[in-house]
């Protein structure tokens, strides 16, 4: 805080994600490993509420890639990124609700109309994202 000359900090648990509702949680999966902390000091914030919001957003980013999948759906033009999709008849713990990250609608001569749905979280999946650590520079 520039005015009071005090440090602003916030903590947000990365235990669950509202975009994924399946038979387990990111917290349960991560419980198999040692505890770790992720610190992001790249952007300076002026208010405690901004710091808390940034911590919550970072926890959401981390947990958003907890479960990743790709599925093909036949003939469903209403599917699009950001919408919830339900996966059924595939067995536990994979059955449940996911949020589509990307959707590609595919059709052609002699083929069924399909929607290719990807659930991958918000991490960069490009070569640049991999080489840069996925940070993307300044926000």
**pLDDT digits 0-9 by tens, 28-86:** 877 888 888 888 888 888 889 999 999 998 888 888 777 788 999 998 899 999 898 88
Domain annotation covers residue 99: no
Distances (CA, A) of 74 to 91, 112, 116, 135: 20, 7, 9, 35
Q: Where are the beta strands (DSSP E) in 4-136?
A: 69-74, 84-87, 96-99, 102-106, 114-119
Res 137: pLDDT: 52
pTM of the model: 0.65
Task: For residue 21, give the DSSP letter.
Answer: B
Domain annotation covers residue 121: no
Domain annotation covers residue 25: yes
Q: How many domains does the chain have?
A: 1
Domain annotation covers residue 128: no
Domain annotation covers residue 107: no
Kindly indicate the confidence band of residue 139, based on its pLDDT and cuts at 50, 70 and 90.
Answer: very low
Lowest mean pLDDT among 31-35, 115-119, 133-137: 133-137
Domain annotation covers residue 18: yes
| Strand pairing report for 96-99 and 84-87 | antiparallel
Res 133: pLDDT: 66
Domain of residue 1 covers: 1-65
Domain annotation covers residue 42: yes
Confidence check: pLDDT of 11 > 80? yes
Domain annotation covers residue 19: yes
- Interval 90-106: pLDDT, tens: 888 788 888 888 999 99
């Amino acid at each position: 805080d520039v005015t009071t000359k005090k440090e602003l900090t916030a903590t947000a648990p990365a235990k669950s994600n509202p975009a994924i509702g399946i038979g387990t949680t990111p917290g349960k999966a991560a419980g198999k490993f040692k505890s770790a902390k992720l610190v992001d000091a790249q952007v300076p914030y002026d208010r405690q509420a901004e710091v808390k919001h940034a911590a919550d957003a970072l926890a959401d980013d981390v947990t958003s890639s907890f479960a990743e999948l790709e599925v093909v759906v036949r003939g469903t033009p209403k599917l699009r990124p950001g919408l919830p999709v339900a996966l059924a008849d595939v067995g536990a713990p994979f059955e449940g609700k996911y949020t589509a990250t990307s959707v590609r609608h595919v059709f052609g001569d002699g083929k069924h109309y399909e929607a290719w749905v990807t659930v991958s979280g918000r991490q960069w999946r490009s070569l640049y994202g991999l080489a840069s650590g996925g940070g993307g520079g300044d926000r």
